[in-house]
Each structure stands twice: as C-alpha cells, then as structure tokens.
Amino acid sequence: ARGSFRSRRVAVDLAGRPACGVWWRGVACGCSQKETASARRDASSSRRAVGRDRAASDCERMENYEKGPTLGEGTFGRVFRARDRRTGRLVAIKKIRMGKAKEGVNVTAIREIKFLKELQHKNVIELIDVFPHKRNLYLVYEYMTSDLEAIIKDKANIRLKTADIKAYMQAILEGLAACHRYWIMHRDVKPNNILLGPDGQVKLADFGAGRGFGSPN
C-alpha cells in the first residue's frame, strides 16, 4: 500500500531484468529473482553447514570424557563418573534427557546452569562444562568422592567429633553466604546435597530448586 514502510511491487532493475520486487523506503531492490533465490539457497546451505559443524563439535566434546560407573539416577537422567582424557582429571557428568520436559530442557537444569555459571566459590560445586549430545544435555562438574548423608549414615566406620561438625557447618554457611551475595537462594540444603572431597572439601550442590531474590522463576 502507498505510504507503507515496506511493500512488494513488480519491479525491473536497471539492466531490464525482473527484480525480486522488494521495496525498501521507496527504493526497489536491484537484485534479480534468480540472484535472490540463489542467495536463499546459499544461506540455507550455510545454516546446514553450521549445524553439522556444531554437531561435530558436540561429539568431540563428548569424546573428551572416558565414561565410568554410574553414581546416581533420577527422574530426568543420571550422574556418572568420568575422566577427562585431556587432563586426566576425574569429573562427574549429569546426563539429562531433554525429551522428558515440554520445554525440551527441564527447568531445574536451566536454573542449575544459570546459578553455577554466576557462582565461583570454594564451598560451591564447580560447573566445568555444558553441552548437548544426541538429544541429551550434559553438565560436567568437578568430582567429589562422597556426601554428608553417607558420612552420617556410616556409623560403623565414621564417628563425627564436635570439631568435625563445626568445620562442616562453617563451610556450609560460607557457601550459603556466597550464594546470598549473588542474590541466590539454594532452598534445598540437606545432607545429600552437601558434597565432600578427598581432601576435606565441603561444597554445596544441586541448585535446581534455587531462586534468585525477587524472581518468581
């Protein structure tokens, strides 16, 4: 229509070829219909090539890890131990089945990624990498050997002293204080979400139930 910002009209370029008919601010596009179709094909081919490159990159990232035993399993996936082939470092990988949620990725996984990308603290679990592979989402964490729940239940071999309990509490509170400095509420602090390392490290994990201060999501 006359006066509209953009409209399609039958147009002929300066060489007399039929143009694509796209007008921009009253000026006809000078490209031919053949050139426009060719450009669309080139763009489509480029997108497919990018998709193939991305898929190949994701496969390479998966191949960086040598899979080990399963550590646990839940509704949306499972966690297994692995070794980084490049560094020899042990890691824990959470495999999330994306098809299990309407949105494609479970919202708890999105929260976990968001919060752990923001948090960097000695008493918060480290999220090393995130990548998709074959309709699954993989979250790579630093590997911790146990959790506080297992320590509490192992009364036959482990007896916690008052000093141990105080040390655990101090580490947990320091981790929570770091979360609160970033305006993050964990909302699921319990023994099996407090992970322990081989050298006595204490780290908060599982931020899927977390919330940002003032955010309903």
- The DSSP bridge partners found for residue 1 are none
Single-letter code of the amino acid located at 15:
A
The letter for the amino acid at 74 is: G
Give pLDDT, residue 100: 55
Task: Tell me the C-alpha to C-alpha distance, in Å, between residue 133 and each of 25, 86, 100, 139.
Answer: 45, 19, 15, 11
Active site residue 188: yes
For the segment 72-103, what is each residue's pLDDT rounded down to a tens digit? 887 678 999 999 999 999 999 999 987 655 55
Query: Could you write out the DSSP letters of every residue in 166-183?
Result: HHHHHHHHHHHHHHHHTT
Dihedral angle computed from the Cα positions of residues 122, 188, 177 and 214, in that order, rounded to the nearest 10 degrees: 130
Give residue 48's pLDDT band: very low, low, confident or very high (50, 70, 90).
Answer: low
| Tokens read off for 163 | 């000093």
User: Which of 24-33, 36-45, 160-169, 206-215 has the largest mean confidence?
Assistant: 160-169
**SS3 of 33, please?**
helix
The span from the CA of 217 to the CA of 111, in Å, is 9
Domains of the chain: 6-61 (no CATH), 64-212 (1.10.510.10)
pLDDT attached to residue 42: 57
Please enumerate in sequence order all residues whose Cβ is within 8 A of that of 142, keeping only pairs 6 or more positions apart, or say none: 91, 92, 125, 126, 128
Q: What is the pLDDT of residue 78?
A: 92
Catalytic residue (one of 53, 154, 188, 206): 188
Q: What is the pLDDT of residues 145-201, one digit of tens each?
A: 999 999 999 988 888 899 999 999 999 999 999 999 999 999 999 999 999 999 989
Lowest mean pLDDT among 47-51, 64-68, 93-97, 209-213: 47-51
Model confidence pLDDT, tens digit, residues 117-135? 999 999 999 999 999 988 8
Q: DSSP letter string over 40-100?
A: HHHHHHHHHHHHHHHHHHHHHHHHTEEEEEEEEE-SSEEEEEEEETTT--EEEEEEEEGGG
| pLDDT > 50? residue 143 | yes
Number of C-beta neighbours around residue 175 at 10 A: 23
pTM > 0.85: yes or no: no
Q: Check: CB of residue 117 under 8 Å from CB of residue 187.
A: no
End-to-end CA distance of the chain: 44
Q: Is 114 annotated as a binding residue?
A: no
pLDDT at residue 63 is higher than 60: yes
Please tell me whether residue 123 adopts helix, strand or coil conformation.
coil
Strand-strand pairing, 146-147 and 184-185 = unpaired
